[in-house]
Amino acid sequence: MVIVFARAPLPGRVKTRLVPRLGEWGAARLQARLTRQAVRTALAARCGEVQLHVTPRIHAPWKSWGVALKSQHGCDLGERMYRALAAALRRYSAALLIGTDCPVLRPQDLRRATRLLRGGCDVVLAPAEDGGYALIGARRVSRRLFDGIAWSESGVYAQTAERLLALGYRWRALRSVWDVDRPADLERLRSLRLPSAQPPAFRR
Q: Among 7-11, 56-60, 103-107, whose mean pLDDT is lowest?
A: 56-60
pLDDT of residue 193: 72
Helix axes 19-45, 107-118, angle to 10 degrees: 50
From CA 139, how far away is CA 85, in angstroms rounded? 9
- Domain membership of residue 202 (yes or no) is no
- Domain membership of residue 200 (yes or no) is no
Residue 129 has pLDDT above 70, yes or no: yes
Total Cβ atoms within 10 A of residue 203:
11
pLDDT of residue 184: 87
The domain tally of the chain equals 1
- Coil, strand, or helix at residue 41? helix
Q: Among 6-10, 51-55, 135-139, 191-195, whose mean pLDDT is lowest?
A: 191-195
From CA 202, how far away is CA 71, in angstroms rounded? 16
- Domain membership of residue 151 (yes or no) is yes
Q: Among 50-54, 77-81, 117-121, 152-156, whose mean pLDDT is lowest?
A: 152-156
User: Which residue range(s) make up the domain with 13?
Assistant: 2-189
CATH number at residue 38: 3.90.550.10
Residue 41 has pLDDT above 70, yes or no: yes
Mean pLDDT calculated for residue range 10-35: 94
Residue 202 has pLDDT above 50, yes or no: no
Burial grade of 113 (CB within 10 A; 0-12, 13-18, 19 or more): buried
- Domain membership of residue 109 (yes or no) is yes
Could you read off the pLDDT of 68-116 as tens digits, one per residue? 899 999 999 999 999 999 999 999 999 999 999 999 999 999 999 999 9
- Domain membership of residue 79 (yes or no) is yes
Residue 136 has pLDDT above 50, yes or no: yes
- Domain membership of residue 29 (yes or no) is yes
DSSP per-residue codes, 148-168: T--TTSTTHHHHHHHHHHHHT
From CA 204, how far away is CA 194, in angstroms rounded? 24
Mean pLDDT calculated for residue range 1-19: 94
Burial grade of 161 (CB within 10 A; 0-12, 13-18, 19 or more): middle
- Domain membership of residue 197 (yes or no) is no
Mean pLDDT of the chain: 91
- Single pTM value for the model: 0.91
Burial grade of 194 (CB within 10 A; 0-12, 13-18, 19 or more): middle
pLDDT of residue 187: 86
Residue 63 has pLDDT above 90, yes or no: no
